[in-house]
């Protein structure tokens, strides 16, 4: 299982939020420096999110481009990607794959277009869950669609992977949503990447045992709950 450090950008700075709420923001510094730190510590992949774009309060495209230009490993990029043009731009400046969230739920045709244009391997869909239902618009709006229902739908469209985030525990370090991750892994054949609630090395182990192909880790790394090397050892990611 891949351990994927998260570099979330808000107002040009690397931050972490609890449950996506801006008032919980913790600032950690420059996104480029943090990305390079994780690469230096052995990361094989990075998760880069434009929080302002996701929340509809602006964008950090220039900073995202700077991170991509200064990172020599694969980087998946998400947050406010709502058009084919923006997805294309991100792929053009070095994103390994693009994550569609709100746009995928609101406009499934966009997913089909991106798969056709860039291929399934470069197309990921984010399923952000609150109490089992998918949330959109920077997690501010709740839909009535279930995670499993949408997962199967996007798998049929040819996406190469799914990013499942439990909003209920995101940023809390209280433990991952193991049951939901396991259910999703069992419901589809494509890789499932998990995010939300990681607070200990035991969470890393549980995610691996649940069948996750990757685990996105944010606050726990920034707050020093464990090192990236330790997490990679538990995940079996250190020998890639």
Question: How do residues 183-220 score in pLDDT, each as one tens digit?
Answer: 999 999 999 999 999 999 999 999 999 999 999 999 99
Strand-pairing partners, residue 128, are: 165
Q: pLDDT digit string (tens) for 45-78?
A: 999 999 999 999 999 999 999 999 999 999 999 9
Q: Which two tokens stand for residue 83?
A: 């058009």
Torsion angle of alpha carbons 103, 11, 225, 176, nearest 10°? -20
pTM: 0.94
33 three-state secondary structure: helix
Q: How many residues comprise the chain?
A: 240
- CA atoms within 13 Å, Cβ hemisphere of 2: 21
Token pair 């709006």 in the structure block, residue: 141
* 78: Cα separation from own chain's centroid: 7
Decide which of 3.40.50.2000, 3.40.50.740, 3.20.20.70, 2.40.50.140 is the CATH code for 2-235.
Answer: 3.20.20.70
- Which are the catalytic amino acids? 8, 128
162 neighbors 125 (Cβ within 8 angstroms): yes
Q: How far is CA 166 from its chain centroid?
A: 11
């Amino acid at each position: 299982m891949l351990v994927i450090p998260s570099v979330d950008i808000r107002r040009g700075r690397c931050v972490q939020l609890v449950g996506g709420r801006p008032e919980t923001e913790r600032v950690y510094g420059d996104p480029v420096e943090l990305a390079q730190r994780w690469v230096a510590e052995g990361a094989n992949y990075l998760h880069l999110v434009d929080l302002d774009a996701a929340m509809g309060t602006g964008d950090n495209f220039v900073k995202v481009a700077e991170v991509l230009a200064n990172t020599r490993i694969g980087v998946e990029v998400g947050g406010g990607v709502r058009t084919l043009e923006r997805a294309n731009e991100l792929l053009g400046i070095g994103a390994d794959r693009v994550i569609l969230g709100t746009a995928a739920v609101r406009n499934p045709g966009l997913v089909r277009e991106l798969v056709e244009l860039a291929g399934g391997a470069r197309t990921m869909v984010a399923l952000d869950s609150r109490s089992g239902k998918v949330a959109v618009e920077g997690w501010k709006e709740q839909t009535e669609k279930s995670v499993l229902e949408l997962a199967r739908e996007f798998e049929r469209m040819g996406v190469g992977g799914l990013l499942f985030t439990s909003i209920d525990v995101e940023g809390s370090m209280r433990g991952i949503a193991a049951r939901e991750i396991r259910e999703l892994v069992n419901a589809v054949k494509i890789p499932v990447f998990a995010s939300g609630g990681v607070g200990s090395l035991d969470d890393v182990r549980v995610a691996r045992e649940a069948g996750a192909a990757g685990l996105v880790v944010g606050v726990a790394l920034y707050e020093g709950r464990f090192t990236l090397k330790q997490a990679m050892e538990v995940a079996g990611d250190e020998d890639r």
